[in-house]
Amino acid sequence: MPTAGSELTEMTATEARLRLDAREISAVELATAHLARIATHDDAIGAYLHVMGDVALAQAAAADCRIAAGDAAPMTGIPVALKDVLCTVDAPTTAASRILAGYRSPYDATVVRRLREQGAVFLGKANTDEFAMGSSNENSAYKVVHNPWDRSRVPGGSSGGPAAAVAAGMATLSLGSDTGGSIRQPAGFCGVVGLKPTYGRVSRYGLIAFASSLDQIGPFSRSVADAALMLGAIAGHDPADSTSADLVVPDYRAALDGDLRGVRLGVAREYTVDGMEPGVERAVRAAVDHLASLGAELVEISLPHTEYALPTYYITAPAEASANLARYDGVKYGMVVEAPTLRETYERTRGEGFGPEVKRRIMLGTYALSAGYYDAYYVKAQKVRTLIKRDFDEAWAKVDAIVAPTSPTVAFPIGARTEDPYQMYLSDVFTIPANMAGIPGVAIPCGFSDGLPVSLQILGKPFDEGAILHIADAYERSTDWSTRRPPLDDRG
């Protein structure tokens, strides 16, 4: 009997891989089911900016040929959504900004090329906060993304589209980018797994830059094993990215054995803040205690410069954004608003092309880099950033990983924080330190509060993604949080 469409869209990538290789399902069936689900639900959710239907079906047919020939790679035939800050030759790349409306890249991002070479199926380009600047996915120039668990709530940001697509069964896996928590925070709000690799583990070539010293690309998935599978497919040195590390990529799935005996987990006293919701605090505390019951040793640690991570980030990231976004002037590509002089053309193009949050960050960054303020702001921020990294370096002498909440709250209502940027920025208070230090972090579902997902964050040593995936997998195996799905109308 044919497999029901809803069953096909709820499988993990690991399950799909087994069934594709056993010829129980075809890649075309899998892609068709996902495209149908997108057609049914995405008008209400808004996870996609561009659906690549014809591309997906052609890739799926090619994947079936590879499987039949015994030439399947781990990602062959797996349906994937791509955050719309990743360049693709066969679909627009807009960064959810009007200034890049209709832009077509002449090349693929390295991660896109690597997935394409493995035979992955691209369902479409997923929605995001404009230029990845935001914590709620309300800053997209085209449409707001709605949380599949409660459509009156945000999905988190900036990678809200990729997170919502996986949570709603509109992609098996997706790729996002994380500059200050933009993978982990939406993963937490949407009840899926989100992995930010170490800075340099994954090539940033072809990623539309926000803050170049912070940006990192990583996967969203329904299981830890799936995140390990996708990381293995995209990680590795890239000569086109001078910041990518020339290190061997381990077999991340080989480390997933469920055994936590002897693992030392740091619990930092600084990872509790005023305003943390009681339901979130209870769920995270229960998750940490559960890890201890599985054999892990809990070690109290201190990361004393944590309180400075947020202000340090909001000097560093806007400053780098100001430099990166200077290229959008209407001359070489993207939107142009003609004016009598070149200067006026620049001003009108940028004035009409950029949204309010992008303008806010450009102004903050330009101010921090301006004459007379560069040393007082940007240089001082880099010194504090060094202290934040040093805190983590000292912690690694005592622990193998650090556990913390992913966010101090569950997903908040759409519109609740748009008039209060400071409260919006506080959504990332627990995720930003990892970006400042360049370390890996994974967010995993660990419970619910008021019917909405709560997430545990596991932070690890540089280039030790295997360790945090190992810990996350052990927790996932012994709980059922990752099996929960949003109550969409065609699910039983």
Active site residues: 83, 158, 182
Between strands 121-126 and 79-83, the pairing is parallel
d(CA 460, CA 464): 6
Whole-angstrom distance, CA of residue 41 vs CA of residue 64: 27
Cβ proximity of 276 and 454 under 8 Å: no
Query: What is the three-class DSSP state of 431?
Result: coil
Integer-rounded Cα Rg, in Å, for the chain is 21
CA angle 7, 13, 17 (to 5 degrees): 95
C-alpha distances in Å from residue 100, one per residue of 336, 416, 481: 10, 28, 39
DSSP 278-312: HHHHHHHHHHHHHHHHTTPEEEEE--TTGGGHHHH
The answer to whether the beta carbons of residues 91 and 52 sit under 8 Å apart is: yes
Question: What count of other Cβ atoms lies within 10 Å of the Cβ of residue 90?
Answer: 15
φ, ψ dihedrals at 299, nearest 5°: -125, 120
Q: What are phi and psi of 265, to 5 degrees?
A: -110, 125
Alpha-carbon span 92 to 258, nearest angstrom? 41
Token pair, residue 367, equals: 């101010």
From residue 233, alpha-carbon distances to 75, 76, 253 in Å are 7, 11, 12
3-state class of 216 per DSSP?
strand
- Tell me the residue type at 196: K
- Give the DSSP letter string of 182-200: TTHHHHHHHTSEEEEPPTT
Q: Are 455 and 444 in contact (CB under 8 A)?
A: yes
CA distances for 347 relative to 275, 330, 340, 351, angstroms: 40, 10, 11, 6
Asked if residues 284 and 454 have their Cβ atoms less than 8 Å apart, the reply is yes
- Sign of dihedral through CA atoms 129, 130, 134, 140? negative
DSSP 33-85: HHHHHHHHHHHHH--EEEE-HHHHHHHHHHHHHHHHTT---TTTT-EEEEETT
